[in-house]
Amino acid sequence: MNTEQTGILRANAEKTELRDRLAPESIETLRRSGVFAWRTPAAFGGPWASTTAVARSLAEFGRACPSAAWVAGTCATAKTLLARNFDDEEVLGEIFAEPDTLACGSGHPTAQGQRTAEGVRITGRWSALSGCEDSDWAALALTIDGSYSWAYVPTNRLVLDRTWQVPGMRGTGSHTLVADDVLVPAQWVTAGSLPSPADRPFYAIAVLAPIVGAAYGALEVIDAMFASGRAPSMSSYSSMAESAGARQWLAEATHLVDRADRAMMTVAQADERGDAPAELDSARLSMMLAEAVSDCRSAIERMLDLHGVSGFSTANPLQRYWRDIAVASRHPQFNGYLAVERLGAVLAG
Mean pLDDT of 136-155: 97
Are 121 and 182 in contact by the 8 Å Cβ rule? The answer is yes
Residue 239: name the closest of 247, 249, 229, 248 by CA: 229
Q: Write out the H or E segment, with its range, that includes residue 7.
A: helix 3-11
Residue 275's pLDDT is 63
Are 263 and 43 in contact by the 8 Å Cβ rule? The answer is no
Residue 193's pLDDT is 82
Tell me the pLDDT band of 200, cut-offs 50, 70 and 90. confident
What rounded mean pLDDT belongs to the chain? 95
Residue 192's pLDDT is 87
CA–CA distances in Å: residue 294 to residues 4, 258, 297 = 31, 13, 5
pLDDT, tens digit, for every residue of 262-306?
999 999 998 888 766 688 888 899 999 999 999 999 999 999 999
Number of neighbours of residue 251 by Cβ within 10 angstroms: 11
Cβ burial of 222 (10 Å; 0-12, 13-18, 19+) is: buried
pLDDT, tens digit, for every residue of 151-184?
999 999 999 999 999 999 999 999 999 999 999 9
Tell me the pLDDT band of 130, cut-offs 50, 70 and 90. very high
The DSSP secondary-structure symbol of 152 reads: E
CA–CA distances in Å: residue 246 to residues 218, 219, 233, 256 = 16, 14, 12, 15
Residue 142: strand pairing partners: 149
pLDDT, tens digit, for every residue of 294-318?
999 999 999 999 999 999 999 999 9
